[in-house]
Structure 1
Amino acid sequence: MRLTVYLAGQIHSPWRKEFKQLAEQRKLPVDFVGPMDNHERSDDIGEEILGPQPNAILKDEAASQINNLRTRVLMNKADVVVAVFGEKYKQWNTAMDAGIAIALNKPLILVRAKELHHALKEIANHAQVVVETPEQAIEALAYIFAAE
């Protein structure tokens, strides 16, 4: 059995690469999908597909529509969603992705520091598992495959 795991969360840090390396070290039979992690391409995709937009707001709207399409399609195909909340950047995209996972009834592993407990209590209440580190999230995924 293989699982498809959607990696939701900030695109400003290398956490996805590190998470994938942890899964590879554990030899977990998982495939990863997620948002476009090339930030520049993500911001420009609306104009890449639809052509130049008349202002920055419409440029953002066009990119948002296409990025939302990607998120919805890939998350629908996912077996599990891992949403990582960091401290450094605003986490609106992570919160939105976690909300989509909840709405789609996808199993959700929420990764957040203890200090973010209050801010994320509603999302945590809907997650199947809440952990503090990516390593703990990998252990939760590994348990799915445990024979004993």
Structure 2
Amino acid sequence: MKLNVYLSGEIHTDWRVQIIQGCQDADLNIEFSSAITDHEESDSAGDMLGDGQLDEKQGFWRDHKSAKVNAIRTKTLIAACDIAIIRFGDKYKQWNAAFDAGYCAALNKPYITLHSSDIIHPLKEVDAAAHAWATSVDQVVASLKYLCK
């Protein structure tokens, strides 16, 4: 079975690389996709748009335009995936990841959350809609191995 897996969430650790490597080591037939993980590139995704009338180089309008451009990619890839892995790190709040989880739930796309036990409470609604909760990359890889059988 071939899976299309979308990797969503925090961008400050190499968890994506670890999952991809673990799945490659297990010879799993998985295609991975993700949002843009370069922070500056993501923040500037909409800089080419507009006429310069709305203070577009900073603040709300820059973020607004870039979020919309990034959403084109995110919505398309989530719609095309079979399952999403949504990672919540401990250092930063990943509101975008929570939004991706809600979008998956709205589309009835299965997703696995990946986070430590110390943030269970703030993610209770996100975890309630998830099909699984993992605390480690190894658990995610093991789940994907099972799904690919």
Deviation at 1:78, TM superposition (A): 0.3
Q: Letter of the 1:35 partner, please give it.
A: A
1:5 matched residue in structure 2: 5
Q: What's the Cα RMSD here?
A: 1.4
Give me the whole-angstrom Cα distance separating, in 2, the residues matched to 1:51 and 1:13.
36
Matched with 1:83 is 86
Label 1:18 to 1:31 Cα distance change in 2 as closer, same or farther (>3 A): same
Q: How much has 1:90 moved relative to structure 2?
A: 1.5
Any gaps of 5 or more consecutive residues in structure 2?
Answer: none
TM-score by length of 1: 0.92
4+ runs deviating over 6 angstroms: none
Equivalent residue number for residue 45 of structure 1: 45
Name the residue aligned to 2:145.
142
Match of 1:100 in 2: 103
* Alignment-derived partner of residue 55 in structure 2: 54
5+ unaligned residues in a row in structure 1: which ranges? Answer: none
Question: 1:23 corresponds to which letter in structure 2?
Answer: C
In the TM superposition, residue 51 of structure 1 has moved relative to its aligned partner by: 6.5
TM-score scaled by length of structure 2: 0.91
Report the 3-state secondary structure (helix = DSSP H, G, I; strand = E; otherwise coil) of the residue aligned with 1:119.
helix
| Aligned counterpart in structure 2 of residue 131 of structure 1, from 115, 131, 134 | 134
Which range moved further: 47-56 or 114-123?
47-56
